[in-house]
Amino acid sequence: MITAQIIALSKARSILYRFLGSVYLMEIDETMLKALKKIRFPEVEGDEDADMDLREGYALMQQVISRTEVPDLDDLAADYAKVFLAAGDAAGLAAFPYESVYVDKKHQVGGSTAMKMKALYLERGYEPDPAMYRTMDDTLGLMLEYMGILCEELTQALEKGDEKKAEQLFAEQEQFVPKHLTNWIFSFTSDVMKFAGTDFYKAIAKITNGFMKKETALLKGGRLWDTV
């Protein structure tokens, strides 16, 4: 049975996925900073790993946002470039946000892993915005946004009462997350923690960690609204 709670959950997942996705794709700008300043991040209780990650992540995020002003945005952008692009790191070490780098034997960008993501998006009728920075097909940000889209579609299906469609979408999510996200994202966020110079990206890494652990628990197989 579809409840308001389930719809709300679906919507919240969508927004968080999109938030994280966009942060991994794009630097923070003035508009986003202003909006973030208005937010009170949740205070999370609980002892599970995921809870601790979220608690620490949100708290750190809250602190960072409150003390960050527009002139500081360049520092954040510099950290973005260093953490995800190795710009300014002579050793070339960074948390490159591409699945192929973490998952393929040769750890090289591109290849079939990237191609499979491209194929997946095209199959569903999506492509990276040509107006955006050109990046690898298996970049994390797009994958997270994709999950955001799936959650949005799920929300819409739930709102329409289309249980069948909702089930399909949920199954798609169950397939997608372990296959393309949680198979590498925790190694990735650990690298982000290692390389991040600013607390902002550390916070994002922690939130990502907690969120994806929660998602893993949710998408463990079974129908979303079964026993309600």
Partner 1 sequence: MSEVSSLFNEYLARIRIEGLEEAIRGRNYLKPCEKQHIEVTDEESVVYTACRACIANCGVIAHVKNGQVVKIEGNPKDPMSKGRMCAKGLSGINALYHPNRNKYPLVRVGKRGEGRWKRVTWDSALTTVAAMLMETREKYGAEAVFGSTGGGGNPEVWSAARFCNIFGTPNWFEPGSAQCYLPRVLAATMMYGGADTSIADSNCLEFFDEQNCPTQALVLWGTCPSYSCPASGGRMVNELRQKGVKTVVVDPRFTPDAAKADVWLPIRPETDVALQMSWIRYILEQKLYDEEFVLHWTNLPYLVDVESRFVVHPSMGQEDNRTSSLIWDLKENQSREMEYPFNDSYEVELFGTHEIGGKLYKTGAQLLWERVEEYTLEKAAEICWLNQEDIEKAIRIYAENTPSSLCLGVATDQNINSEQSAMAADTLDFLLGNVEKPGVAMQRFRTSGVLKVPNYPVPVALKCLPEEQFQKRLGGREHKGLSIWYGGHAASILKAILTGEPYQPRMWIDRSGNKFGVMAEVGKWAEACEKLDYIVHMFTYPTSMTSYADVVLPCEEWLETEMIVETCNYLVARQQVVHLWETRDETVIWSNIAKRCAEMGHEMCKKSFDPEFMGEDLAYWDSMEEFFDQLTVAQNMTWKEMCEKAPFEYLPMKDWKTYYVYLDRMEDGKPRGFDTPSRKIEIYCDAYIRLGRTGEPFMPYKMPPADKDYEPLPYYLEPTESAVRDDEISREYPLSMTNGRLPIFHHSTLRNMPGLREMMPVPEIWICPEDAQKYGITAAQWTWVESARGRIRAKAKVTKAIRPGTVYMERFWHPETVNTKTHGWQETNVNVLSRSEGPFNDVVGTHVLRGYQVKVYPADHAPEGIWTKPSDFRSWLTVGRS
Residues 66-105 touching partner 1, rule: CB under 8 A, are 74-75, 77-78, 80-82, 85-94, 96, 98, 101-102
Burial of 37 (C-beta count, 10 Å sphere; 0-12/13-18/19+): exposed
116 near partner 1 (CB under 8 A) = yes
Residues 5-34 touching partner 1, rule: CB under 8 A, are 5-6, 8-9, 12-13, 15-16, 18-19, 21-22, 25-27, 31-32
Q: Which tokens is 172 given?
A: 């798609």
Q: In the complex with partner 1, which residue's Cβ is closer, 6 or 193?
A: 6
Long-range CB contacts (within 8 A, 24+) of 125-131: none
Angle at which helix 112-124 crosses helix 140-160, to 10 degrees, equals 30
Is position 124 an interface residue for partner 1 (rule: CB under 8 A)? yes
Rg value, the chain, Cα: 18
**With binding defined as CB under 8 A, does residue 168 bind partner 1?**
no
Cβ nearer to partner 1, comparing 67 with 90: 90
Distances (CA, A) of 11 to 8, 14, 149, 165: 5, 5, 10, 16
Least distance to partner 1, CB of residue 164, Å: 20
Give min distance, CB of 79 to partner 1, in A.
9
Q: Which residues pair with 139 in a beta bridge?
A: 98
Residue whose entry in the numeric block shows the structure tokens 């994202």: 185
42 touches partner 1 by CB under 8 A: yes
CB of 24 to partner 1, least distance (A): 10
- Residues present in the chain in total: 228
- Binding part of the chain for partner 1, among 118-126, 161-169, 171-179, 198-206 by CB under 8 A, reads 118-126
3-state secondary structure of 54: helix
Does residue 106 touch partner 1 according to CB under 8 A? Answer: yes
- How many positions of this chain bind partner 1 (CB under 8 A)? 90
